[in-house]
Amino acid sequence: MSTLDNDRPLLGIGLMLGFCLLAPFADALAKLLGPEMAVGQLVTLRFAFQAAILVPLTLATGRVWRMDRRTFGYVFLRTLLHISGIGLMFSALLYLPLADAVAIAFVMPFIMLLLGYWFLGEEVGLRRITACAVGFVGTLLVVQPAFTEVGWPALLPLGVALVFALFMLVTRRIAGVTDPIGMQAVSAVIALALLLPVMALTPAERLPALEWTAPNGRGWTLITLMGIAGTFAHLLMTWSLRYAPASTLAPMQYLEIPFATAVGFAIFGDLPGPLASLGIAVTIGSGLYIVMRERAMQKARPPAPQAVHSGTPPAG
């Protein structure tokens, strides 16, 4: 049975919506922690909490986390991309407001849609392309004028966009043949195996980004919340790709921008101007269009064979 035989677009969209809600909150916590500790420490602790949550859960529920060599290769590559993407985003948040960093990075769904078409052979119709283009225009409108004054750090979210587009492409390749929780547990262990030696053996004076600072009580609270939110956000994203094509989910991810704007205002007092507000409205409109489009297409499809869609979905 192919991966696409299990596609349930509306379920995938709902899971991606959960990701869009949690991811900006985790990024906001990282931004709060940025002045207190180095990016390398934040990334390492982020994966430490992922391992602490998912490894015991995987063992307690008897989930399968063993995989063949080919799948493990994809998971290893996915982990490298995950580390790079989180590190770039945490670095960008040292210089940019939360909404600006997320908005600039949102060339990612457009890149992902094209990669899904070129490398996975996923269907990309004119309406989906149009919705992505409209959402991209909304993204550009959200970017504040201060972006032009930041300098080279403003390029960091573009790196985030490319890395996470590749990350989601790799995730899509293995989402249908691996348990999401087991895969995320393995990924956390791989990340720690890579990060801990680097953090321990690299002198901080040579690379300040890898300096280790003992967190205080407030710091541990924020780190714990960041680890939990980040872990479950990416678990929802991985799960969503199990049920819907990347080309379907790409426009939905634009909803992360208004959520990031709301979180940025609530925590940092960053209020978008009129142009950014217009962009948020355009972004929400394109996302809602995709939801309605998928609902109409699903109603128009003939009923799927019982053998494919009966029973409960895969756990995790």
From 118-127, 160-169, 187-196, the region with the lowest mean pLDDT? 118-127
Reading phi first (left if > 0) and then psi (alpha if -120 to 50, else beta), residue 211 is in: beta
CA distance 87 to 270: 23
First to last CA, the chain: 19
194-231 confidence digits (pLDDT tens): 999 999 888 877 788 888 999 899 999 999 999 999 99
33 vs 119, higher pLDDT? 33
pLDDT exceeds cutoff 50 at 306: no
Taking residues 43-53, report their average pLDDT: 95
Our measurement of the distance from residue 11's CA atom to the centroid of its chain's CA atoms, rounded to an integer in Å, reads 17
pLDDT exceeds cutoff 50 at 305: no
From 113-122, 140-149, 238-247, 264-273, the region with the lowest mean pLDDT? 140-149
Sign of CA dihedral 158, 228, 286, 100: negative
- pTM surpassing 0.85? no
135-177 confidence digits (pLDDT tens): 778 777 776 655 776 777 878 888 998 898 888 888 878 877 7
Which of 69, 7, 1, 5 shows the shortest CA–CA distance to 249? 7
b/e per residue 36-59 (b: at least 16 CB within 10 A):
ebbbbbbbbbbbbbbbebbbeebe
